Chain A
Amino acid sequence: MELVTIEGKWDFNYTYFAGESASRFFHELRENQRIMGTRCTKCEKLLVPARAYCDVCMSVTDEWVEVGPEGTLETFTIITTAFPGLPKPPIVMAYVTLDGADTALINLVHGMDLSDIEKAAQKLNALPRVRVEFIDEPKGRITDFSFKLI
């Protein structure tokens, strides 16, 4: 007997609400090309990207501070295989601590020579300094900027 299979597809549309803090963060990206963090009123850590509250202390974070535009790479991966629905490899993705911040921020690293993956990995292993680079026409999204090795 042949086993029956029934085709299905989930194709729902959503509008995600970023909230006030992220909205202001994105606004700063678009209008002023700068990265902002918010400081926790209790532990005094400068959290980047900006958010409404510190989830460890449960305290508000209402002081806005600019960070970067330079920083230090903390850890990375080089994506070398294509996955459906995700950008084309090779892609470098890294956590970077921007100068002044107490937390690291994830984004892509552009402008590296990736013809030799192992060589590129060793370069990133040295935890290089990086600089934030904005796209020509920022749209107020996290993809408005990326990192570039200094």
Chain B
Amino acid sequence: MSVAIIGVGQTGYRRSFADKSSRELIWEAARLALEDAGMGIDAIDMVISGVAPDALAGEASVERTAMLGFGKPFLRINTGGVTGSSAVFAGNTFIRARRARAVLVVGLERMGQATSSQQVFNTIFDPVYEKDFPLTTITMAALRASMLMRLYGYTAMHWAQIASRSYRNALRNPLAHIHRDVSPEDVLNSPLLAWPIHRYEACPMSEGACAMVLVDEGMVGDRIPAWIQGAASITDSYAMGDRIHRPGATLVDLLSLKLAAQRAYAEAGVDRPREQLRAVELYSAFSSAEAMAYPALGLCASEDGPRFVEAQFTDPTLPVINPSGGPQGANPVSVTAMVRIAEAALQVREMAGERQVADVERAVATGQGGATQFSTVCVLGKRQAA
């Protein structure tokens, strides 16, 4: 049973939507996705809602905002940063298992309502051994960025080049939160948050909603499909300190992402990722996260990472990384991983407007959650997997 995405709806992303309640944000995305799919809510068998910590919205049981239609099975997913892709994967699984033919997947990030979100992020860590330290998403990324610099020779300039490229890609994406032409020098001149991370390298805090309609192959009809050719979700140990001495896969070798890529590629029939994947939508909230994804996705060897960054600006045969601007352009945490799949779907369906990459036969989307204890890889294609 093959599954296709035939509808994508996005509110676009901003620091906050003062003109919309949480329910209205979801409704807007869901309405757009159903419109794109040419379907009404009655044709939907099941609704899956993806929302990460309630505290970011300040609304407990925030899944109540996703009550759409009547009399359908419902599921809420919360797996941190991969909430959005986990929700899509759940829909994919239900359809493949023939428990549903059409699934509406909706993701909401409402952190615009949080006036002190870094404090909320500090509560996601272990309350026994970690909560007394200034662990945040930023410092967690910094601990890895410094390791990558030492091991593979990345420099502050590489981090700045990656960030700048994403900002500039986001200029072509009307849905992005940040539309600012940032040069690598601008990144390096922005204040240092936590060595080696500068302010303009950190992703923004965004909110918004994203929705998708997934159907089985019999329901695609005359719609334009993005076929889910491969989807894999892999866990790792939560403790980052336990991964430092792991033979063959240290803290900066994203073992979970690598294994997820291997599985998804095998399902999709991808054996030369660098040639077969034209568009790559990475869950890279920081430049260092992008660098860790290159070898995991088979785009280059770990030690060739810095050269791969440079080559992207000169070699048009390389896959286009984050044509949407990625999380640098908008980071609505709960939905960021769903947005990666949505953007990959738009690329495959040739509906990405000004940010469309030429000749996208296949695109790949990743997700990273928590302290990277969750990784997801999704390969989408114009055609069903062979």
Contacts and interface: CB of A to CB of B under 8 A. Distances in A.
B61 to A, nearest CB: 14
Interface residues of A, number: 48
A95 B133 contact: no
B19 interface: yes
A8 B118 contact: no
A21 B240 CA distance: 19
A30 B139 CA distance: 28
A143 B193 CA distance: 23
Contact of A77 (B195, B240, B251): B195
Given A83-B118, A107-B133, 8 more contacts: A75-B143, A77-B146, A77-B194, A83-B134, A86-B122, A93-B133, A102-B245, A142-B133
B116 A85 contact: yes
Contacts of A150: none
A80 B198 CA distance: 10
Interface in A1-23: 3, 5, 8, 10, 14, 16, 18-19, 22
A59 interface: no
A106 B195 CA distance: 16
B116 A81 contact: no
Interface of B: 18-19, 55, 58, 113, 116, 118-119, 122, 127-136, 139, 142-147, 149-150, 191-197, 199, 237-242, 244-245, 251
Contacts of A79: 134, 139, 142, 193-194
Closest 10 CB pairs of A and B: A77-B142, A104-B241, A78-B195, A16-B127, A85-B119, A75-B147, A104-B244, A86-B134, A79-B194, A103-B242
B193 A97 contact: no
A87 interface: yes
